[in-house]
Amino acid sequence: MTKTPDAPDTTAPGGTASAVSPAALPQLRRRVQAVLVATQILGGLGIATGVALAAVLATEVSGTDALAGLASTATVAGPALLAMPLAALMARRGRRAGLVLAYLLGALGAGIAVLGAVVGSFPVLLIGLVGFGAGSSANLAARFAAADLAEPDRRGRAISTVVWATTIGAVLGPNIAAPAGRSVSGLGIPVAAGPFLWAAVVFLVSALVVAVLLRPDPLLTARALAAADEDGADLPENRSLRAGLRAVRESPQARIALVTVAASHAVMVSIMSMTPVALTHHGAGIELIGLVISVHIAGMYAFSPVMGRLADRLGRLAVIGLAVGLLGVAALLAGTAGASHTRVAAGLFVLGLGWSAGLVSGSALLTDAVPQAARAAVQGLSDTIMNTAAGLGGLAAGVIVSQVGYGPLNALAAALLLPMAALALRGVLRRA
């Protein structure tokens, strides 16, 4: 295959791209990473601004805590439903097309959520939150885009750098929830719905940045580079969902990775989604809730470069073990906090650290474990499983808190770590 310099987007009609020259590859890696970092900041701002009050808004509109968990379920249902279609689109047209679509759907969903709050319709609100969750699909898919062109021994760091970039927007988001709510008070929009209006604008800006600047496409370029080295490796049948499922069946490491990202995300979402409700039961206001969620999100994203470096140096399985330990400690702290807001905040911070360790190490292991041509399909499968597990966890969380309380919720969430720990230990023993 003819190699061309890294200049314009060289995507061909058939969904391929020309391989870049070796000299141009480092510059392309830096450019792709810069664009992904910028959109992660914006996307993180939009997601966190809305997520901070999703459960509170659901409680206001529905009139009951028991349905509050449906808010988090809806926000993760969007990524779960979109993950495979998004992966199929990326397999055909590259990362740029998939990311733009996800951000646009996120903006549309945020607008529908505001409409549901204004008219007082809980079903409309849930439909909007499903679409709003599509913005999370873009931020999740971006971590794999960062790994497309990374050297194998630096994939953990490449993934973690993009995950880290979410810190800025994600930590800022919950803290601007209050001013975002006040900004719509004169428009007849409920205060708790204001952040979703702001999120819609942020998602539109993110879509524009990706559409204009993510060129050439990292996935198509990586595919072209692989095809130049391995004749026939990039045949269309090797990119299909069936090929992705076959790759997972043939790789024990891929299965460990899938369980890791699913369990880590389910534990995090189930505990985090009901923490604002638990805090309100102990007298916390919107500012304190925003602060606690900011601390949690700082744990999720700010230390991801540390997790990426550990995953590259110590190995993916070692960091998966670390994730199990951190998530277990987090459930213990938050579940026994009672009326102590400080202890809840500490638990949520450690919960974020555990999620970061699981996501970064699991994503890197998954990318390592499957052939390049099948990666988009397998990554889509991973996000589908991950968000489905989190959606079920969020749905159950609302019911559990309304029936038996926040403490038992944390204990049951910690039990989800057992399969993850068992598979990781089995992987270590197999390598020994």
List, for residues 323-365, the tens digit of each pLDDT value: 999 999 999 999 999 888 899 999 999 999 999 999 999 999 9
* pLDDT average, residue stretch 194-221: 92
pLDDT at 180 exceeding the cut of 80 = no
The model's confidence at residue 43, banded by pLDDT at 50, 70 and 90, is: confident
Question: What DSSP letter does each residue of 9-76 carry, written as one string?
Answer: ----TTS--PPBPTTTHHHHHHHHHHHHHHHHHHHHHHHHHHHHHHHHHHHHHHS-GGGTHHHHHHHH
Question: Across all residues in the chain, what is the average pLDDT?
Answer: 85
Q: Which residue has the higher pLDDT, 9 or 326?
A: 326
Place of tokens 């994600």: 170
Bigger pLDDT: 276 vs 311: 311
How far apart CA 19 and CA 168 sit, in angstroms, is 34
At residue 1, the pLDDT reads 38
pLDDT digits (tens, 9 = 90+) for 369-407: 998 888 888 988 898 898 888 878 888 898 898 899 899
Instruction: Look at residue 337 and give its three-state secondary structure.
Output: coil
Give the CB-side neighbour count of residue 136, counting CA atoms within 13 A.
31
Judged against a pLDDT cut of 80, whether residue 221 lies above it is answered with: yes
For residue 228, the model assigns a pLDDT of 62
3-class SS letters over 277-289: HHHHHCCCCHHHH
The residue behind tokens 């213990």 is 332
Residue 290, Ramachandran bin (φ over 0: left; ψ between -120 and 50: alpha; else beta): alpha
Q: Is the pTM of this model over 0.85?
A: no
Q: What are the φ and ψ backbone dihedral angles of 4, each rounded to 5 degrees?
A: -125, 155
Question: Residue 279: how many CB atoms within 10 A of its CB?
Answer: 24
Average pLDDT of the residues in 165-171? 77
Q: Which amino acid is at 186?
A: G
Provide the CB-side half-sphere exposure for 385 (13 A, CA).
21
Confidence class for position 317, pLDDT limits 50, 70, 90: very high
**Does 14 score more than 70 pLDDT?**
no
* Residue 7 pLDDT exceeds 60: no
Using a pLDDT cut of 70, give the percent of the chain over it.
91
Residue 121 has pLDDT above 80, yes or no: yes
Q: N- to C-terminal Cα distance for the chain?
A: 41
One-letter amino acid of 396: A
Residue scoring higher pLDDT (420 or 224): 420
- CA atoms of 259 and 251, how far apart (whole Å): 13
Q: Which pLDDT score is estimated for 110?
A: 93
Spell out a b/e string for 13-36, using b for 16 or more CB atoms within 10 Å of the CB, else e.
Answer: eebbbbbbeeebbeebbebbbebb
pLDDT of residue 190: 85
